[in-house]
Amino acid sequence: MENIEHKIIPVNGIKMHVAELGKGPLVLFVHGFPELWYSWRHQMVFLAAHGYRAVAPDMRGYGDTTGAPLDDPSKFTVFHMVGDLISLLDAIAPDEEKVFVVGHDWGALIAWHLCLYRPDRVKALVNLSVAFYPRNPEVNPVEMFRRLYGDDHYICRFQEPGDIEAEFANIDIKEVVTNFLSFRTPGPFYFRKGKGFGYSAERAPWLTEEDLDYYVSKFKRTGFTGGVNYYRAFGLNWELNAPWSGAQVKVPAKFIIGEFDLTYHVPGTKDHIHKGGFKKFVPLLQEVVVLEGAAHFINQERPDEINEHIYAFLKQF
């Protein structure tokens, strides 16, 4: 960890903080909510030791990356995120035509779209937690979740600017981070108005006090608006992605999900993943792994297994 190099790189109108370790073929790690480059610490050390150049940015709106207008969720679309990553690759790997990509949670969704828009830049993809779904022309994803779970579902509660931030302001930041990262319930995640989380989680065994302190130090400074804005742009993503309706992701891919991941238990997800729908739209999908006993933050909860899964896939290319 002490050998990880940190840089600030101007990309796509923002200043992106990037952590880097190792030399060799580039592996780009893309984090989710509410995370940071730090979420990939275990994978970076492992892959650097196995001959790769591991690069993990703080995504737009997170950590030490600055310059995104937090008061404008329309600047947090998947197009902005993919644009950030393409600009980053142009800056740090101008001679590398294609790179490896690993994503988790929102980072997985962004990575799928990176491959959808720019397959010419991706050698192979390992995604965790969030599978690829074709665009549903009938309903945007926010309304889909509202129909499934009601207005108190977290994606619905995250839509109104300032609303969920006001709820978080009444809770200690350490408790907010702990409650998110230690969540293990496979069912839906709710924020009932005025009730906060409705629970107080014990710190997950994989989350050390040092880890927790790092997350807390960053979110104490930035707040959560940057990360929540990804959800606020969800509907806009759906509108703007109309030209890619029915399009396939044509990059070699591996997908890993935890048995108790809340995303795995959204109605229809297991059938989509295991009964052909997923493979139809990701025709070069080579493997699907369900980690028994694991929850959502699998790259941190089960790092040794995830490291081996990533390495076993990447070394084929």
Q: Which residues are marked as active site?
A: 105, 231, 296
Closest CA to 118 of 154, 82, 84: 82
Cis peptide before 34 (omega within 30 of 0): yes
Side-chain-facing half-sphere of 143: CA atoms under 13 Å: 9
Sheet of 53-57: strands edge to edge? 5-11, 14-21, 53-57, 26-30, 99-104, 122-128, 253-258, 285-291
3-state secondary structure of 88: helix
CB 22 within 8 A of CB 49: yes
Backbone angles phi, psi at 122, to 5 degrees: -120, 125
Contact 105, 32 (CB under 8 A): yes
> Cα 136 from chain centroid?
21
CA 290 – CA 255 distance, rounded (Å): 9
